[in-house]
Amino acid sequence: MQQLNLDFHSEGQLLAAAHDGRSFALHHFDTGEVLFRASDDNDLQSSDAVFSPDGRFVAWG
């Protein structure tokens, strides 16, 4: 079963979506446009992508 973890930027314009912990993407919420994408081939990893409290960084690990 695939799991999707979501975190919204505090201003509501950006969405971080982590897919089963192997990858995450940063989307523009209104259009769905992918602004950035990162992935890791390690399928044993499981992690969320979250915005820092000030909204300047995305943590994923």
Question: What confidence tens digit (pLDDT) does each residue in 2-56 have?
Answer: 567 888 898 889 988 887 657 888 899 899 999 988 887 655 556 778 889 998 9
DSSP bridge partners of 45: none
Q: Are strands 14-19 and 23-28 parallel, antiparallel or unpaired?
A: antiparallel
Task: Report the alpha-carbon distance of residue 26 to residue 60 in Å, rounded.
Answer: 11
Task: Report the alpha-carbon distance of residue 40 to residue 15 in Å, rounded.
Answer: 19
Q: How many Cα atoms within 13 Å fall on the side-chain side of residue 33? A: 5
- Write down the pLDDT at residue 48: 79
